[in-house]
Structure 1
Amino acid sequence: MQDRTYTEDAEPGDEVTVAGWVHEIRDLGGIAFLILRDTTGKIQIKFEKDEMDDDLVETGLDVARESVIRVTGDVEEEPRAPTGVEVTPESLEVVSEADPELPLDPSGKVDADLSTRLDNRTLDLRKEEVQAVFEIRAEILRAVREQFREFRCTEINTPKIVATGTEGGTELFPITYFGEEAFMNQSPQLFKQLIAGSNVERVFEIGPIFRAEEHNTPRHLNEATSIDFEGAFCDAHDAMDVAEGIVKAAYEAVNENCSEELEALDLEEEFEVPEGDFLRISYEEAIERINATGELDEQLVWGDDLPTEAEKALGQDVGGHYFITEWPSEIKPFYIKDTEDDETLSTGFDLMHPRMELVSGGQREHRHEHLIEGFEQQGLDPDQFEYYTKMFKYGMPPHAGFGLGGERLIMTLLGLDNIREAVLFPRDRQRLSP
């Protein structure tokens, strides 16, 4: 909008045109105030009824909250105003009238449940604390990209429509693709391995993944953002170093660049950047530590996956981010390489926040014959993945990588109660619109 001034830039003595939403109206009799809100903040518009045109006053005070208006006038210093200045209007235009019956209150004075908020996300995002989440999300993604570039990675984009699933068919969304069955991709796993096997070597991708999981929990989504890395001539330890660097970079960027957003979320006092190296413990040690807490009804045994209550117990015991390494080979995907010394142990690892898993990764099997055996052991037909397996005949280097759940990183970093709060328009079992 030509000649528009953002509210945060309005200075005493200026003549400005400000535009935004009607946040609040206070009529005190002979004087009234309208609070206008834009993306940078709020500003007070003062109406002295006896000294102003009646039509101007009527227009300003009769407009419904959340209507879009444009106001032109002089800026004056006013210490009692919310931002220390106010505008005396010369003109006021109602650009877009809002329905007086709002489905939720953007001022936050009346709470709304999460379902109502998600049904009306445009209104919800007019709340400062909600907008702060997505400003922080944007900063995290910026910082992650920058950190990957410092790790000499090239950003790639892989297909989201595929002929076969990465990890089998139980969690696939089928679609019709020109009369043939296809699927929404669960992960860029196979494609990023193929690129790491080229001369590019180190790659990353930030993009959507789709999983037809039946879970309906505060930490599961059916469409999520995955932050992926794959590096040639890397082992599991190298990949863990990258994962740790990415997570720390996200925290550091938020700490340095999002002070206003953290304040809006009441996190400015308690937000902490992780310090020191993340602890690395083996799966075997993790089982022992979980059992020793006494928090589980039944003791875990070798080969068990870690249920939610086990992750919680171990997270409380560790008290910070940590890796679980050397998982049993039988519970890791076919593309995860076994350790050199023990084929029952894999090079797979998970990076954990005390609340939940953030990352799954490991060194990949780069030997063609062993890869084919892995397919067969997990009941998958190698012929369906020929586009992938055949490239392992042509000089595939050792490589390792991981997938990091973007929304889980945001959720744990900000202490959100529900992962859907970190997504503009979440997709889960019940929600396909908006």
Structure 2
Amino acid sequence: MKPCHTFQEMRNSKFTPDEITVRCLLCAFTSSNSYCQGKQVHSYVLKKGFISEVSVCNTLLTMYAKCSDLSDVFDIFEEMEGIMDLVSWNATMTACLKHNHNNVFGLLRMMHCFDHEPDHVTLTNVLGACAVVPSLDKGYQVHCFALKTGLETEASVMNGLIDMYTKCGVLINAHKLFDSFSDPDVVSWSSLIVGYAQFGYGKEALELFQTMRNRGVKPNHVTFVGVLSACSRVGLVDEGLHYYSMMETEYGILPTREHCSCVVDLLARSGRLKEAVSFINQMPYDPDIVVWNTVLAACKTHQNAEIGRHAAESVLRLDPSNSSAHVLLCNIYASTGNWEDVARLRKLMRSTGVRKAPGQSWIEVKDGVHVFSVEDRSHPQMDEIYMVLGDLSLEMMEAGYVPYGGFDSFEVVPS
């Protein structure tokens, strides 16, 4: 029986729901499909005066984080001023992290202003935000705080630190923490394996995986993402296919879309493009743009125009305005000397208004993240930035650097 029906029967039977009843009911709403029901229960909470109960408000925060966007979460959070507790702060931070919102650090500063002391859940959330950005400076600060307060010994904080350091590329720190962990769990092992794989240390990642198995730690689906990525990076195709089959046969782990993408990358990188396409055709998931772009990029490397055309057409069926597919296909034609098709495709791009997406990069300075895009002049410190770039370019020239195309083509112009 559905929770809402049970709740209604309870009311029809003359039983009066209390705050515990409402909290249990709100916990049943876990997706956008139950948003309307959640709103109805929220109205009931307001009508019965349960909104003054901090535990009910915290459950509302969690419900909206799962069923809606952050606007509802922030509305509830702001209305809780005066009654919010540590759970309220942690629930709101968790919601920000779930929705990839960068307000976790701002909430942490506010939390200090309200004299609420962070616990291991708070630090785990903040470390998760540091890993997403990634923000190594803030990660260092959280690590220092964890050491100062003794929270570093908490398994979730330790795993958060390992994950943060691996995603920031500081693998030495991640491994030192891992070695200091008296009883690393599957999360610890998986974070380290994935980190080594992502930064090109495929051999080390596979050695960690073997050690993990020897110690009797059962891998999970994240572990195998790292293992398959590692095999792809070092070109161990047959070993990667063996590990892929091992997932289900030995550990009962059904392949996810991410695992399938790793196998496609494994085959495509090694030039086994026909096998990659064959694998895509028999995947338990409909192929997405990521999969076809992987094949398309490999076709450029291995100069396979035939499969490249098929991959590009597949991408464009899913997203007709996808600029990367047009550009990669142009490069494939150019690498094979097919200039007529290059001209035809460029003409098609102009006529349909498809433009290459501008490149973007960012840098963290103190408490701010500065984003830069190609041909973007909107940064408030643009003049100073270009002045420094000009000085650097002169120093490079004086040191003997000759840019591509000669000195005449190298120019830094602020406007």
Fold in common (TM above 0.5): no
TM-score (norm 2): 0.23
Higher relative contact order, structure no. (Cα contacts within 8 Å, ≥ 6 residues apart)? 1
TM-score (norm 1): 0.23
Greater percentage in strand: 1
